[in-house]
């Protein structure tokens, strides 16, 4: 970013060290959203191959049946699970649910919105994503 605005830019935005798990969730959400969008576009293209008939479809199936594509697919599964679970958390938050009630703050200040409910939400999104990815890997590489 230009120094005259002194904005932190993308680097500062995703720096995971300063603002706790909430910030990690923030950019994982973005990353997974973008990743899913990319996959989604690819997926639409992929399925359109069905118009090329049996041969075209199988050709594509073979092409995407490599370990590389399987790993990609597992990551997509993880992203999908994380994005969905965290998305539901974020939506609740945005609606003002589970963000605490206004009250007189007492020093040392402990912001009610940064509470364990949301932290649990974030961690469970990550854990579920990991589990789903394992499962995906198991299925894909299992046979």
Number of residues that bind ligand HEM (CB under 6 A): 13
Give the torsion through C-alpha atoms of 136, 137, 139, 142, to 10 deg.
-170
Contact assessment for residue 31 and residue 80, using Cβ atoms and an 8 Å cutoff = no
Cα(84)–Cα(90) distance, integer angstroms:
10
105: left (phi over 0), alpha (psi -120 to 50) or beta: beta
Site string for ligand HEM, 32-51 (x = CB under 6 A): -xx-xx--x-----------
Q: How many residues does the chain have?
A: 143
Q: Which residues bind other proteins (CB under 8 A)?
A: 1, 3-10, 12-14, 17-20, 22-23, 26-27, 29-30, 33-34, 36-37, 40-41, 44-45, 47-48, 50-51, 53-54, 57-58, 61, 80, 84, 87-88, 90-91, 93-97, 99-100, 102-114, 118, 139-140, 143
Q: Which residues bind ligand HEM (CB under 6 A)?
A: 29-30, 33-34, 36-37, 40, 83-84, 87-88, 90-91
């Amino acid at each position: 970013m230009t120094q005259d605005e002194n904005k932190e830019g993308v680097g500062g935005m995703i720096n995971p060290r300063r603002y706790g798990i909430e910030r990690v969730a923030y950019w994982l959400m973005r990353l997974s959203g973008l990743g899913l969008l990319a996959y989604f576009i690819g997926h639409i293209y992929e399925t359109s191959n069905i118009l090329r008939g049996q041969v075209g479809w199988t050709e594509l199936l073979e092409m995407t049946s490599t370990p590389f594509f399987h790993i990609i697919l597992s990551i997509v599964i993880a992203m999908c699970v994380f994005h969905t679970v965290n998305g539901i958390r974020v939506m609740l938050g945005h609606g003002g649910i589970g963000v605490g009630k206004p009250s007189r703050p007492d020093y040392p200040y402990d912001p009610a919105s940064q509470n364990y409910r949301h932290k649990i939400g974030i961690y469970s999104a990550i854990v579920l994503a990991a589990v789903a990815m394992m499962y995906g890997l198991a299925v894909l590489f299992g046979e």
